[in-house]
Amino acid sequence: MASDHSRSTQIQLAERPKGWPDDATFRTVAVDLPELGEGEVRVANDFVSVDPYMRGRMDDVKSYVPPYALGETMEGGAVGRVVESASERLAVGDLVLHSLGWRDMAQAEASAFRRVEELPDIPASVYLGVLGMPGFTAWVGLRQIARMREGDIVFVSGAAGAVGSAVGQIARLAGASRVIGSAGSEEKVRTLTERYGFDAAINYKDGPVRSSLREAAPDGIDVYFDNVGGEHLEAALGAFRDGGRGAICGMISQYNATEPAPGPRNLANLIKRGLTLQGFTVNNYNRFFGDFASEVTPWVRSGELVFDETVVDGIENAPTAFLDMMHGANIGKMVVRV
């Protein structure tokens, strides 16, 4: 007799979007799972992640990771509990992190899953957010790419999202003299200053980012963490002090564009002020994950580094969660609770 865990609901890529994805981009399927093979485990997901980088993988273009295949289940971060095991590496009940993505049940070799520590009074979804890829991305960008130093003035775009909110808090805890964030609503702006400890925050919808940043950072900036690109990058190039460093993580303002975006008009500041802009993808820095965890986990345990989640219930609603996240509807990490 089949177990209750033998059927998996999964979300697949049905077509490649042109511009913004919509409901037709995805389809929901039910898959009967085979019997466990030797060394395999079956995991019931608790939470599934939706992230901005997934938009790029929907296009059939060369990038740092292969594009999603049409008719295949969407890959991405997920955390869940082992419900069946044919492996000595993982036992029933273990909490695990994996990248098998948008499905309620996942089955694979045990090597596809990483056991993670259960933290008292902290939801397992933390491993999809501040203690997972977004938090690690924030830490790598600040520590390894922008080489943030104590006393630096730091500007973060997309600051109310999962990565940006971690960037600002890590910068503050690591000794930045001033942290400025940009977000797209008054609610998010208040959250940045009142909850995450940013010294100043700007609503980029209120007017030119360049003018708002000049008011928020009259002495200029030393570090820019870019999640948005476009007008924000141009504003940062205008605000950099000599020797400024930019960690270029994402350009969400351009992900759904159907025409090439114009480049910043003030790139000559790179020369005049001796600036450094470096793009990065976090999977090239996995060797630093232990350093990240050892610094950031105590801050999360103590409550010095706080995090928020926007939770959507039901694996069938993963596409809605993804689209809402791309439209900026989330504060903190957007996750799907299975």
What is the per-residue pLDDT for 255? 67
Nearest to 58 by CA among 13, 5, 107: 13
How much is the pLDDT for 1? 35
Is 4's pLDDT higher than 80? no
Interval 53-108: pLDDT, tens: 999 999 998 887 899 999 999 999 999 999 999 999 999 999 999 999 999 999 99
What is the model's pLDDT at position 54?
Answer: 95
CA 148 to chain centre: 20
> The tokens of 19 are what?
């511009």
- 116-159 per-position pLDDT tens digit: 999 989 999 999 999 999 999 999 999 999 999 999 999 999 99
Q: Over the stretch 224-261, which tens digit does the pLDDT of each residue have?
A: 999 999 999 999 999 999 999 999 999 877 766 667 77
- How far apart CA 51 and CA 200 sit, in angstroms, is 26
Residues of each domain in the chain carrying CATH 3.90.180.10: 7-129+308-337
Query: Which fold is adopted by the domain 133-283?
Result: Rossmann fold (3.40.50)
Residue 3 has pLDDT above 60, yes or no: no
Domain(s) labelled CATH 3.40.50.720 in the chain stretch across 133-283
Q: Give percent of the chain with pLDDT exceeding 90.
A: 90
Which tokens sit at 229?
């690109």
Mean pLDDT, the chain, rounded, equals 95
Count of helix runs (H) and strand runs (E) in the chain: 9, 15
Q: What distance in Å separates the CA atoms of residue 238 and residue 259, rounded to the nearest whole number?
A: 25
Six-digit token pair at 216? 């928020």
Looking at domain 7-129+308-337, which of 2.150.10.10, 3.40.190.10, 3.90.180.10, 3.10.580.10 is its CATH number?
3.90.180.10
